[in-house]
Structure 1
Amino acid sequence: MLKRVKFDESSMVVAGDGGSEEGGISHHRRILGMLRENPNMIRTFGRELFRHKVGAHLDARWRDGFAAPPVRIKINLTRLCNLRCQMCIQDRRDAEKEKFSWNDPRNQLPLEPWVKLLDETMPFMPLIALTGGEPLMYPHFRGFIRAAKERRFVVELITNGTLLDREAEFLVREGVEFVIVSIDGPEEFHDRIRGQKGAYRAAVAGVQSLLDARRQRNAARPLVSLNCTISKTNLAVVDQMMPIASRLGVDVLNYLHTIFDSPENAARHNRIFSEEWVRSKGLEVVFPSLPDGEYYESEIGPEDVPLLEELAAKVQRHGQSPLMVSFSPNLSARKIRPYYLDLHHPFSETCKCLWTDCRILPDGSIIPCLHVRGGNINDGPFLEVWNCPQIRNFRKLVAKRLFPGCARCCCRVY
């Protein structure tokens, strides 16, 4: 079945043949193979392209807060997680179970409401993106995947990878299109950031098993990506992720610029989102909109900017074959300094996500962002909840301006 993973003592990356036979396969060939295996990808991504380029803009301008059905549904299946990562707010959420119902694992939905959601959304076939917590810890994970693939949805899975080894063959067999694994640097740095010794080896073993299963089945799916979140802890070594990803044999390496905020900016945001103001705008918010501790405070300073600029230059020199390397958000070199050092920098006041993406939490709550509550998928037909009055009113506000809490959101336009 799956071969033993062997580690190189110097670089601690996988040695052996994992992904090496596939290293010469171009991204174009793999995507074509994925389209043959699930032609619905054309429909899903064609609609997503139209919505991002044209449709969302038209809705924001002319439809009084209404939006066409989402092109992407982001489902937090569970808040359960087996890691405690430096840049994650999971600990804060665990401490707020009483106030924020969706943070309590006891409130996570069983499989049936999710299957009902899939049935309701089949007519417009959005991409289904699964995250958490750690989605592989959701007790009905396999049932959800089977239900989604029986209905020919395009599925994306975001995981810390530590439990991936046991699910690798299943994911390939079911035809999941995208698997994204978080690895934040060489072993020592990854384990420190993720808060658990052995996390790196478990994640790498999971990726290796996934690539082996894909090759053994001669399958195009899944496209396998690594996400590397940039932080002060790993900034000096993040460039090592390119050789790690290449030797492992994955298809994509994506560097994530940190999503962060500051106490001062959060306080400024919460002064705007006062209870009186929220009521006057027809919103429903679980207060405070941006709680103390429910955001990451970046430690990157002016002395670190040259390293970030050097990383961007290395990625540009690297090219895109056979390993595709990207950034999210995709900042130009001149935007790196203000992104990290100036929360008040006047970037574009544009966000499309409220018109294109729906975020659903483990208890079924639709909370687009900033603790704005939009109802629950159990409240009625999905499209009615998607365009409920609270969310429509929020869209109308965001169409005019962004808020301090939006400063470093990954969804906005920079």
Structure 2
Amino acid sequence: MTDHRIPPMDRPWPSKLFVEVTTACNLRCAMCVKQSGPGIPDAYLSDETFEKLVPAFPTLETLILNGIGEPLLHPGLEHYIRTARQNVPVDAVIGFQTNGSLLTEQRACSLLSAGTDAISISVDAADPALFRSMREGGETEDVNRAAAALGRAKERTGRTGFRWGAELVLARETRAELPKVIEWVAARGGSFLIVTHILPYREEAVSSVVYDPNVDKTLAHYRKRKEEAAELGIDLSLYYTAKWRLGPVERREEIIACMERVVQEISDMGLPQHIPNLVSHDEGQYRETERLFRESSSLAQARGVDLRLPALGPRMDRRCDFIEEGSAFVSVSGTVHPCYFLWHSFTCHADGRIRPVDALSFGSVHDRPLLDIWNSPEFAAYRREIGTYPFPHCGNCSLAPCDYIERHEFEQDCLGNRLTCGSCPWSLGVLQCMR
């Protein structure tokens, strides 16, 4: 029996296990990490690898059977679910995310009969054209059919506790679709909607980002001071134009002096700041997103949909849900990782900058048992250190980009930490997933 007085990260077993059953996919979504650089080769979890995970099942609270690829492509998915159901606690949740294109009523019944508790369908827009633009090869007809199949399967199998919902990647082009997707979920009997911001893996996707790059507490102080300055006829967004004499500006010296006072105040408060990002802060977009989230929350509550929204921008008080909730991630090859961000190697454009990310593995289940890897001094020390959040806010540093985060072989950050988490978008609250 789990002792809930012990924090999940300190327990001698993972409480949540994310198992990547395949990296293959039948769609080519532009916002997927598979489209990053050289990409991630297609592979499938072997029965041998899965069997090596079973000894860790009796203490699990959650088992998520997906990673980068489409889990319904794996012919052994039901076998894995059935095996897990026989070995996890009775109240443990088994689920996965799918693009829905392969989900027929027959397959849905098979999945629910095997013991699936939750399924999330990727739905980024209700409009067919917008949906197609986000998910190459996908159609709204596919997700409509998938939702209907799950509803009928729930009735046929008598699995009254089964829940399904959707996940939406929020982009500038499709953000107005959020209320429509809430209505879509509610109308078809879904119970939840998980919303995440887009992480640009290609440079052209940077313009699709909706969230503000500035840390929430820093931005709150800047917005307050900018509004006060505006009442005096001083426009802080002209700071660089005034400072570097890039064009004619009235009250040049006052603009410079006012902005530099604000910068000093933020520094005295011990908050990180990226001055160019503050100066270029898009107040109109920020307020529009704020309004969208507020109205969407009200709509979801009225429709009975459990809505999980991301932060409006990076949060100062970081939290790694993966570490805090005692999670372990297993790749198709059997390597064990601490989180989603470090599951694969890729390149992204976080905060508009090129950011190479290297996968971090603590071993393979083909070399030693999963529980031995989890309890290894290296993995245990890593979790404890992450839990203190000692790393800098790389995305809100005026010195960035720097050699510490631009190099592929990460050695340490500017504070001497050997943790690669300074710019992790999950701990900053802008990305989230089914967990």
TM category (shorter chain) comes to 0.5 to 0.7
* CA pair 245-154 structure 1, distance change in 2 beyond 3 A: closer
- The SS at the match of 1:167 is helix
Task: Output the CA distance in 1 between the equivalents of 2:60 and 2:8.
Answer: 17
CA gap 1:56/1:169 in 2 versus in 1, 3 angstroms: closer
SS at match of 1:226: strand
Corresponding residue of 1:375: 363
Q: CA deviation at 1:406?
A: 4.7
**Corresponding residue number in structure 2 for 1:360:** 330
Runs of 4+, deviation exceeding 4 Å: 292-296, 411-414
Deviations 1:110-132 (A, max 9, x none): 113212312x1133133110113
CA change 1:238–1:350 in 2 (3 A) is closer
Picking from 59, 68, 87, the partner of 1:124 is 59
Q: Is the 8 A contact 1:178 1:224 kept in 2?
A: yes
User: What's the secondary structure of 1:123's corresponding residue?
Assistant: helix
| 1:312 maps onto 2:290 in alignment | no
Q: Which runs of 5+ in 1 are unaligned?
A: 1-42, 60-66, 97-102, 262-291, 340-344
- The answer on whether the counterparts of 1:379 and 1:385 sit within 8 Å (CA) in structure 2 is no
- The equivalent of 2:72 in structure 1 is 136
Larger Rg: 2
Q: Answer yes or no: is 1:195 the counterpart of 2:136.
A: yes
Q: In 2, distance between residues paired with 1:142 and 1:69?
A: 25
CA contact (8 A) 2:8 2:14 kept: no
Aligned length: 305
Aligned to 1:80: 24
From 151, 163, 173, give the equivalent of 2:87.
Answer: 151
Per-residue deviation at 1:411? 4.7
- Cα distance change on mapping 1:123 and 1:250 into 2, 3 Å: closer
AA in 1 matched with 2:150: L
The one-letter code matched in structure 2 to 1:134 is E
Change (3 A) 1:413 1:183: closer
CA distance in 2, matches of 1:299, 1:253: 20
Percent identity of equivalent pairs: 21
SS in 2 for 1:181: strand
Letter in 1 for 2:102: L
What secondary structure does 1:316 align onto? helix
Contact kept, 8 Å, 1:365 with 1:373, in 2: the verdict is yes
Query: 2-side partners of 1:406 and 1:239: how far apart?
Result: 33
| Structure 2 equivalent of residue 162 of structure 1 | 101
Shift of 1:393: 4.2
- Structure 1 residue 229: deviation in Å? 1.5
Q: What secondary structure sits across from 1:227 in the alignment?
A: strand
1:285-300 matches, cutoff 5 A: 297=206, 298-300=208-210
What letter corresponds to residue 138 of structure 1 in structure 2?
Answer: H
Give the counterpart of 1:90 among 18, 25, 34.
Answer: 34
Equivalent position SS for 1:122: helix
Shift of 1:326: 1.3
> 1:167-195 CA deviation, whole Å, 9 max, x = no partner?
21112222311111110111221111011
